[in-house]
Amino acid sequence: MRFAKYALLACASALAIGWGTAISTQWWLAPKRAAVIDITDPALIARGEYVARAGDCVACHTVPGGAPFAGGLGLQTPMGTIYATNITPDPETGIGSYGYGDFERAVRQGVRPDGAHLYPAMPYASYRVVSDADMQALFAYFMSSVTPVSKENQPTTIPWPASMRWPLAWWNMLFSSPRDFTPPEGADEVITRGAYLVEGLAHCGACHTPRGLAYEEKALSEDAAGLFLSGSVLEGWYAKNLRNEDTGLATWSEAELVTFLKTGRNDRTAAFGSMSDVVEHSLQHLTDADLTAIARYLKSLTPREGREEWRPNEDLTTATLRAGDFTAPGALTYVEHCTACHRLDGMGAPQVYPALKGNSMVFADDPSSLIQITLAGGRMPETPAHPMAFVMPGFAHLTNADLAELMTYIRNSWGNHASPVTEADIARMRHEIANKPIHYAPEAGR
């Protein structure tokens, strides 16, 4: 009995010490950075708007059809939904009462003025390397040019105790410690600029780098193991491998990559899912110089050993289909449902209907994106270069067996070669789609 009492007391003491230490970390590890920012400076505001575009802030903090930056967009996690917060300068429900130090601490360290920690769905681990100049411009833009919206934040659906915020201090110390941007060794100015954008403002790793058991990105910059930007699954989408290797970007030229970033499509493929939002809200607004810098940096990432090159097999599919031979498993379903857009040769129509032949999304290591877009459909981004946003219908009415056969066929035709898709894969994605978060949080007014 006495031992149990001491054990309980020890546990309570350890918990109290842990809690006290955790909530104090933001003060003893990283003091608040005070600065006087002229939020009426037109040049600074314009620069801040560009930085906000590069950071894609509007995409995550705006519900479809809602006021910009007013929050409410749901992010699906394995434990529940996290809703983006209101970051308009409304003093009651937004960030209108923030000083620059509060703002900088929230964006770079993930800590609110009241000491509460933000969930790491907010990519502050990436924003750690954003320069002071960009951070100050961002503050000027938000405080002077964004329209205030009174809208309460939506609480997370993650159940207690996983929803507690104070343990995130320990998460931050383990996975988001203070760091400065370090240019890649031997890189020129263009690649250095690209690395800064990719690692920091554009936070590409938040979606494209695999995560560990604690939801941490396994690498926040180029690493010896080549995990950085090596592809990851988020909300049921496979965020493509962006390394310059086999199923990554090895088959893409720098020009093709720039075209994709600027317009959301090229002769090979088209953006879909959340990447469509990234192009529409962010990338299309960047300068050609910055898009080239991003593309050149990504193409500079070295392939991992054994993954240098992807070679297509001989295309035997086109001739077989043109001869009217639809006996291969999945072939008849393809002809009935897909050929009108993607054609018998799997080449689609450049800039309109994505090719399936040689499309690295199709033969990606993880078929999640192919499965989700086939089930639920997708929409291309709308840009000045392509104001007509084509929509692909979903084919959820087909059986799991038919879809598994169809996608296995597509992943292994016209020279493509990849692992098969199973009925269990289809069933798992149907469940994922059925449990997507509802984004629309109630708006109190503008």
The pLDDT tens digits for 215-244 are 899 999 999 999 999 999 988 899 999 999
Q: Which residues are bridge partners to 74 per DSSP?
A: 83
Indicate the DSSP class of residue 156.
Answer: P
Q: Which residues are bridge partners to 232 per DSSP?
A: 239
Residue 75: helix, strand or coil by DSSP? strand
Residue 120 tokens, joined = 């790491």
Angle between helices 189-196 and 288-300 (to 10 degrees): 90
pLDDT at residue 289 greater than cutoff 60: yes
Residue 201 tokens, joined = 């403002």
**The CA-based dihedral angle spanning residues 124, 126, 132, 136, taken in that order and rounded to the nearest 10 degrees:** -50
What's the whole-number average pLDDT of the chain?
90
Residue with more model confidence, 19 or 260: 260
User: Does 386 appear as a known binding residue?
Assistant: no
User: Does 11 appear as a known binding residue?
Assistant: no
User: Does 61 appear as a known binding residue?
Assistant: yes
User: Which of these ranges, 255-269, 299-313, 375-389, has the smallest mean pLDDT?
Assistant: 375-389
Residue 348 CA to its chain's centroid (Å): 26
User: Does 338 appear as a known binding residue?
Assistant: yes
pLDDT at 177: 82
Q: Which domains does the chain have, with CATH numbers?
A: 40-152 (1.10.760), 189-300 (1.10.760.10), 316-435 (1.10.760.10)
d(C-alpha 41, C-alpha 139), whole Å: 11
Q: Tens digit of pLDDT for each residue in 132-154? A: 999 999 999 999 999 999 999 98
pLDDT at residue 18 greater than cutoff 80: no
pLDDT at 267: 86
pLDDT at 446: 39
Residue 374 tokens, joined = 């086939």
